[in-house]
Amino acid sequence: MPVASPPTGGVVWAAAGGRPIEVVTIGVSTGGPNALASLIPQLPRDFPVPIVLVQHMPPMFTKFLADRLNSQSALEVIEAGGGEELIPGRVYIAPGGHHMVVERSGTHIVTALNQDPPENSCRPAVDVLFRSVCEVYRGRALAMVMTGMGQDGLLGCEEIKRWGGSVLVQDEASSVVWGMPSFVVRAGLADAVLPLSDIAPDLLRRVMAHRTRGGGVVAAVSARG
């Protein structure tokens, strides 16, 4: 099936254009486990969207990360095995060694895994996940890029913006390595640059603001230890 093309002309950020946010995509690399341990436990059990999380880690370590976050958080955190339906209040972590994407399966949106070649020397890669989010959710996406080395996520953020979604990044002072976020900022793609302590409240505010308009949200995260 051909991949849909983004609309041309003036695209507006969902908050400005009034479109509900239906997906939040997050990419984070070096320093990610501690950043996620700060972010995820701050989100309430009734967070109204699923969270899809990519962690640049070897196999098995992502399972340990999922178990650790699950024990610390109100949200349920699992390592994705492929085929899980995305539901609110659950966090899905891509297993090490596999790309993770989201795709439609009938009336549901589910996770899917593959072992396509690495991108940006990474598998899982943020760009792969972000592209799939665009294909499924179009312009109703919010991307977040957090602490990390390299530039994985940059091209994915470009796609998010082309579709009319929005992008948040972690600031330099609170990042272990300000690589991935800096590329997004320098490309002029960031709608906001936030310290780690402000990300969860800001994310919740944006999600709930659009929920009051009848929308929903999904979140995706990528991290490297």
- Domains contained in the chain, CATH given: 22-224 (3.40.50.180)
Q: Is the pLDDT at 215 greater than 60, yes or no?
A: no
Q: For the chain, what is the largest distance between any 2 Cα atoms, rounded to a whole number of angstroms?
A: 46
- Mean pLDDT (whole number) for 60-80: 96
The answer on pLDDT for 55 being more than 60 is yes
**pLDDT for 149 beyond 70:** yes
Residue 98 to residues 58, 93, 152, 191, Cα–Cα distance (Å): 9, 11, 15, 30
Helix (H, G, I), strand (E, B) or coil at 160: helix
Cα distance between residue 77 and residue 65, in whole Å: 9
- pLDDT for res 220: 63
Q: CA angle 179-182-187, nearest 5°?
A: 130
Confidence of residue 210 (pLDDT cuts 50, 70, 90): low
- Provide the pLDDT for residue 1: 37
Distance of alpha carbon 207 from alpha carbon 190, whole angstroms? 17
pLDDT digits (tens, 9 = 90+) for 158-198: 999 999 988 999 999 999 999 999 999 999 999 999 999 99
Unique residue bearing structure tokens 């610390």: 72
Q: What is the pLDDT of residue 8?
A: 42
User: Looking at residue 39, what is its pLDDT?
Assistant: 97
Residue listed under structure tokens 């799939």: 132
Res. 200: pLDDT tops 50:
yes
Burial of 214 (0-12, 13-18, 19+ CB in 10 A): exposed
In whole angstroms, what is the distance from residue 96 CA to residue 223 CA? 11
Tell me if 217 sits within 8 A of 210, measured CB to CB.
Answer: yes
Of 11-20, 72-81, 208-217, the range with the lowest mean pLDDT is 11-20
Predicted confidence (pLDDT) at residue 30 exceeds the cutoff of 80: yes
Distance (Å, rounded) from C-alpha 181 to C-alpha 172? Answer: 8
Enzyme catalytic residues: 29, 56, 152
- The contacts of residue 11 (CB under 8 Å, 6+ apart) are 139, 161, 162, 163, 164
pLDDT reported for residue 2: 41
Of 36-50, 65-79, 104-118, 121-135, give the lowest mean pLDDT range: 36-50
pLDDT at 207: 84
